[in-house]
């Protein structure tokens, strides 16, 4: 049986406490505050956030909202959230202004120092610095050293996988790779379908053939783009912060060279609404993902809400037949089911409205779906 798993941020949040989109900016803002004296990029980032946050805070001071409204803000998992800025919104604002699509270009004219009207005097040079700081700290938050993986649940999930399974993920972290590596089901030499490991830099790399590939459509924290070779991805196996190997048993041949703190060179399609998908590696992964999804007997989505910002997902899902079997494991699974049925007319969706961790503890059974089905039958019987 061929299964394809589509893995989203909810998976890493549940099993490693990775920050979700609304949490990331708040965390990075606190880090920037602590670096104001030593990092100019941090200053530009703070300035940007303070400008964007002003209308939000003012809105909650208006008569339309009470103080209780701000205290009762909830995320999609019904958890309390602060008055923060979503990272997808933030990267989109930055991209729109750095691309400057609304300003005519003139020969020899440099608009980088021209103030951005609605960002209160911020210019493109400062915005570039803010983006460098944001991306750098974003990568740090997703490095293995920064996460707290729940090893029992991750190991249990890894053993649940079959050798014929495929994984498509929009996450940047290495949780899945590390666990599949430990089980000899995946290796970095061929497990991504793209890129190259510079093996001469490492003492030894075990070479089990990859049995469960991982398609990372948005890139990865351990991918680096080589500017000297077009569309060449270098796959790094060690942390740029601690110089520890990401994968057990792989050691560096020589002492690592210290790298500057800015910028970390992870190559990723950042979480912005503006995505070009123009790289050769992106085209290759999209083709492979479409092939896997089209041939799957079953598609299982884990902690993935199909956000509108992931335009490539919308394209991939639109290519599937309406009777494809889809299982959704998410705390908002019923809402996601209704949206997929409405947008793509899928007819065979099983929603398991439950957290990832609880689903694993339930031995991967679909208990909530059974209750959901029973309730639907009861409703239909009353209506008829």
More confident residue, 281 or 162: 162
pLDDT at residue 103, rounded to an integer: 58
Instruction: Using alpha carbons, select from 137, 124, 173, 94 the residue that is nearest to residue 261.
Output: 137
DSSP letter at 256?
A: P
Residue 65, pLDDT above cutoff 50: no
Tokens 């803010």 label which residue?
Answer: 130
CA dihedral 363, 368, 332, 216 (to 10 degrees): 30
pLDDT at residue 338, rounded to an integer: 92
329: β partners: 302, 352
- pTM of the full predicted structure? 0.85
DSSP letter at 252?
A: B
Q: Share the mean pLDDT of the chain.
A: 83
Report CA-CA distances (Å) from 61 to 53, 57, 66. Answer: 13, 7, 7
The contacts of residue 94 (CB under 8 Å, 6+ apart) are 48, 127, 130, 131, 134, 272
Return the minimum-mean-pLDDT range out of 207-211, 258-262, 359-363.
258-262
The CA distance from 51 to 122, in Å, is 9
Mean pLDDT of 61-67: 46
Pairing of strands 219-226, 266-268: antiparallel
Residue 117, pLDDT above cutoff 60: yes
Mean pLDDT of 235-247: 84
More confident residue, 120 or 102: 120
More confident residue, 181 or 118: 181
More confident residue, 52 or 320: 320
Which residue ranges form the domains of the chain, and what is each CATH number?
1-18+148-219+269-384 (3.40.50.1220), 21-144 (no CATH)
Q: How does residue 76 score in pLDDT terms, banded at 50, 70 and 90?
A: low
Instruction: Using alpha carbons, select from 210, 211, 213, 209 the residue that is nearest to residue 166.
Output: 213
The CA distance from 205 to 79, in Å, is 42
Are 177 and 191 spatial neighbours (Cβ–Cβ below 8 Å)? yes
Are 182 and 245 spatial neighbours (Cβ–Cβ below 8 Å)? no
* Model pLDDT for residues 77-116, shown as the tens digit of each residue: 555 445 568 888 888 888 888 877 555 556 666 666 777 7
The CA distance from 103 to 113, in Å, is 13
Q: Which helix (H) or strand (E) holds 326?
A: strand 325-330
349: β partners: 326
By percentage, how much of the chain surpasses pLDDT 90? 40
């Amino acid at each position: 049986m061929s299964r394809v798993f589509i893995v989203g941020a909810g998976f890493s949040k549940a099993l490693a406490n990775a920050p979700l989109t609304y949490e990331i900016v708040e965390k990075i803002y606190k880090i920037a505050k602590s670096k104001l004296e030593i990092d100019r990029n941090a200053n530009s980032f703070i300035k940007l956030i303070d400008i964007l946050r002003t209308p939000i805070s003012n809105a909650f001071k208006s008569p339309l909202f009470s103080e209780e409204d701000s205290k009762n803000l909830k995320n999609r998992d019904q958890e309390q959230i602060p008055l923060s800025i979503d990272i997808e919104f933030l990267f989109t604002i930055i991209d729109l202004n750095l691309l400057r699509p609304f300003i005519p270009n003139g020969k020899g004219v440099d608009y980088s120092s021209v103030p951005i009207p609605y960002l209160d005097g911020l210019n493109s040079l400062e915005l570039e610095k803010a983006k460098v700081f944001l991306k750098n700290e974003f990568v740090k938050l997703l490095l293995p050293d920064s996460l707290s993986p729940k090893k029992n649940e991750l190991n249990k999930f890894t053993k649940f996988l079959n050798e014929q399974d495929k994984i498509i993920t929009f996450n940047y972290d290495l949780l899945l790779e590390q666990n599949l590596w430990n089980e000899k089901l995946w290796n970095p030499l061929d497990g991504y379908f793209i890129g190259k490991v510079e093996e001469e830099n490492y003492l030894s790399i075990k070479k089990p053939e990859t049995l469960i590939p991982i398609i990372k459509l948005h890139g990865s924290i351990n991918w680096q783009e080589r500017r000297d070779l077009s569309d060449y991805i270098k796959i790094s196996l060690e942390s740029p912060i601690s110089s520890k190997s990401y994968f057990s048993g792989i050691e560096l041949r020589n002492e690592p060279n210290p790298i500057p703190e800015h910028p970390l060179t992870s190559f990723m399609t950042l979480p912005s609404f503006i995505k070009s998908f123009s790289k050769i590696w992106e085209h290759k992964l999209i083709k492979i993902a479409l092939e896997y999804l089209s041939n799957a007997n079953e598609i299982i989505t884990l902690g993935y809400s199909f956000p509108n910002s992931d335009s490539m997902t919308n394209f991939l899902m639109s290519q599937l037949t309406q009777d494809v079997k889809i299982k959704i494991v998410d705390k908002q699974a019923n809402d996601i089911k209704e949206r997929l049925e409405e947008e793509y007319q899928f007819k065979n969706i099983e929603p398991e409205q439950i957290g990832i961790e609880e689903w694993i503890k339930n031995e991967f059974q679909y208990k909530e779906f059974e209750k959901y089905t029973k309730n639907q039958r009861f409703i239909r019987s009353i209506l008829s």
